[in-house]
Amino acid sequence: MTQPISKMLLALSALSAAIPASAFAQDAIAKTSFVENFDTINRKIWYISDGWDNGAHQNCTWSKDQVAVENGVLELTFEQRKAGKRDYACGEIQTRKRFGYGTYEARIKTADGSGLNSAFFTYIGPTDKQPHDEIDFEVLGKDSGKVQVNQYISAKGGNEKLVDVEGGANAGFNDYAFVWEKDRLRYYLNGTLIQDVTDPSKIPSNDQKIFFSLWGTDTLSSWMGKFDYQGPAKMQIDRVAFTAPGEKCQFPDSITCTLD
């Protein structure tokens, strides 16, 4: 069951209001391709969310202590610990620069736990003096056997689709990718096309930042499941890449190696 659209818009609009201006000090448009294998966290590239939450729907506070690199893997964690106004702490990382049309790829193992959301997405909004555009992969801990894809155009969503993840998104690493073009948006899971959007009114147009986040809720249970804390949870990101239009694939398993 997907979250009611009104609640989704409330949750996501709070995102832009909550991010402090310091997060955008080096904001710029990036045109070049990159591959990030997370040997370290390059603070010139990545901004770590710290010290706030995105609104009443979120039961944790973003904390830099919940973001770390271990053995070449980025780890975002969720744990019971007093942080800010919340009794739980959670992790989020975002690029400082914005990216436009191209291919976005991430290799992820998601967290366990009803009421948790492991997300790989791009986003831009009012804090950047831009309309709210967004492209999402989200795995809800209540059912890690599925991933939800979705996109927002000027804060209008309603494009959700749930797709089975063979073996479970939490059982091992899976490859998530989307190819964003002016007139087409394609979502891929482990190299297989799972959603093909060709309606221009349902395709974002504004350059966006890349986000990874792990967070929880006490209130959005109809969408994310009833919150049921069973101990610390962990989302792992082994790799993320952006390939600009027309550029060759950057690593052997890239979806761009197989696309026409």
The catalytic site residues sit at: 134, 138
Q: Which of 194, 186, 195 is nearest to 103 (CA)?
A: 186
Residue 121: closest CA among 220, 8, 201: 8
Cα(170)–Cα(79) distance, integer angstroms? 17
Rg (CA), the chain: 17
Please state, in angstroms and as integers, the Cα–Cα distance from residue 174 to each residue in 96, 118, 231, following that order: 25, 13, 23
Phi, psi dihedrals of residue 92, rounded to the nearest 5°:
-150, 145
Please name the residues in contact with 218: beta carbons below 8 A apart, sequence gap of 6 or more. 59, 115, 227
